[in-house]
Structure 1
Amino acid sequence: MCDEGGTAWIDDMATPSFEFPGRWVEGSGLLLGPVLMLTGVLLRADVDGFFPSQLAAFAVSPGRMSLSYSAFAAGNVLLWPAVIALVRRVWVARPRWALWGGTLVMFGLFARAFHAGINHLAFQLVRVQSLEAAQKAIADSYGAFHVFHTLSFAIFFGWIVLAVGAWRAGVLGIARSVALASMSALPIGVLKGTGPMSVVAAVGLCLALVPLGVRVLTDGPAPRWWAYPLALGLAAAAILIGMAG
């Protein structure tokens, strides 16, 4: 905007500072995201990593495999506020590392969410048709191109870039930065089982982010008493509405 003399000036009603998504969402993501991903990885640790065995395991133990993949997917989604929390802290000293690392990691989270949807559909094929039909459908369509496949490089490189930025900014020490970078070793794609590097990556994520989550949650006043039942009520309502279709 300009005044009558043509001189540019800044509106004094500028947008106030606002840290999105806030301490409680960020702290919860830092704590729960890594723990849920590790839980999902460990629940299927005894099953061969390729998709025929993953589908066969679902046919035998649908509850355990559903819980495994659901925990992993939920942890992946909860990592978005965790990544924002880390990016905001890295930004203070290393903005370029924060920008590129955070952007790549977020794109990678989107790609894993896409894979989670395919996993769910594959399991439902076992349930509503048969194991053989599901295995054939996945085998015949495995590797089919989709736009999200172009984000595989982001899944691999994003965690490394963000980890280097966190180390250079002094947000994480060298050991926890290396642990964060180990997430690049987590297998990418549809119906991926648990291998040694899956456990290393998930444990590394916990070592890197959980202590930061504790610090974020304890660095400030506790929520009011009514916030706890309200959060539980909203979560229950969301589940019921989602199940209703």
Structure 2
Amino acid sequence: MTSPSFDFPGRWAEAAGLLLGPVLMLAGVLLRAGTDGFFPAQLAAFAADPARMSLSYGAFAAGNVLLWPAVIALVRRVWPAQPRWALWGGALVLLGLFARTFHAGVNHLAFQLVDVQGVRTAQQAVADSYGAFHVFQALSFAIFFGWIVLAVGTWRAGVLGPVRSVALASMSALPLGVLKGTGPMSVVATAGLCVALVPLGLRVLKDGPAPRWWAYPLALALGGAAVLLGLAG
């Protein structure tokens, strides 16, 4: 007996990823605009304005994590016409998202060093350890090439069209690594991601019934509980 199929991760998760992921990443990039892009200036900016920099890096990290259902949404739509491009593009992009999440953890630790030991000590600690080996270094190629491969798949499958596929591919220009500030290509890449994914997210959101009334307070309650549990350690 075969099990009934279902579309993982579901319409609401896909819509949330397609809409919120790109917007949060763009917001994170814009919030730290105007500061030199290398880590000494990023740490100094955190010391001067910790709320803004925490919000910037937090929004970017949250947007990055929320992109995984967005990537699955693209892969599912590309697969029927271009399975190889869907497979390799989706796998590479997801690996790249994992690597950026690792970088976000390093960023968070570096900012805590500023709070605990001061900005000078934090800058020296990051300088002395910058480039140290870690297993995610091997995923740098995935961060760069994954979006291009997936974008070719969306174009060949007719999922996004040529303009929005090029906008999706622009994510390969987003700087990678630890404590990266905002440059012109950061804005181009994250704005391109919004152009590519937000219209699809709106379409997915409208393509079906609204959730039950109790889903909204339940989602808020679960989100609040998750935050409290995280703060409790």
Task: Tell me, yes or no, whether TM beats 0.5.
Answer: yes
Answer yes or no: is 1:227 the counterpart of 2:215: yes
Q: Which amino acid aligns with 1:82?
A: A
Of 8, 27, 30, the match for 1:42: 30
SS in 2 for 1:230: helix
Corresponding residue for 2:145?
157
Match of 1:8 in 2: none
1:15 deviation in Å?
A: 2.0
SS for the counterpart of 2:166 is: helix
Listed as ranges, the gaps of 5+ residues in structure 2 are none
Give the total of aligned pairs. Answer: 233
Match of 1:166 in 2: 154
CA-based RMSD: 0.4
Q: Which protein shows a greater Rg? A: 1
- The alignment status of 1:75 with 2:63, answered yes or no, reads yes
Q: Runs in 1 of length 4+ with deviation above 3 angstroms? A: none
- The match for 2:127 is 139
2: distance between equivalents of 1:15 and 1:148? Answer: 36
Paired with 1:82 and 1:240, the residues of 2 have a C-alpha distance of 27
- In the alignment, the residues of structure 1 paired with residue 16 and residue 64 of structure 2 have an alpha-carbon distance, to the nearest angstrom, of 13
Q: More deviation in 109-118 or 14-23?
A: 14-23
TM-score, scaled relative to structure 1: 0.95
Task: Report what 1:242 is aligned to.
Answer: 230
Deviation of the 1:93 alpha carbon:
0.5
Q: Kindly report which structure 2 residues correspond to 1:72-151, keeping only aligned pairs within 5 A, or say none.
A: 72-151=60-139
Q: Identity over aligned residues, as a percent?
A: 81
| Structure 2 counterpart of 1:97, one-letter code | W
Q: Point out the structure with the larger helix share.
A: 2
Q: What secondary structure sits across from 2:85 in the alignment?
A: helix
Name the residue aligned to 1:201: 189
* Secondary structure at the counterpart of residue 233 of structure 1: helix
Aligned-partner SS, 2:128: helix
TM-score (norm 2): 1.00
Q: Which amino acid in structure 2 is aligned with residue 185 of structure 1? A: A
Alpha-carbon distance in structure 2 between the residues aligned to 1:110 and 1:164: 22
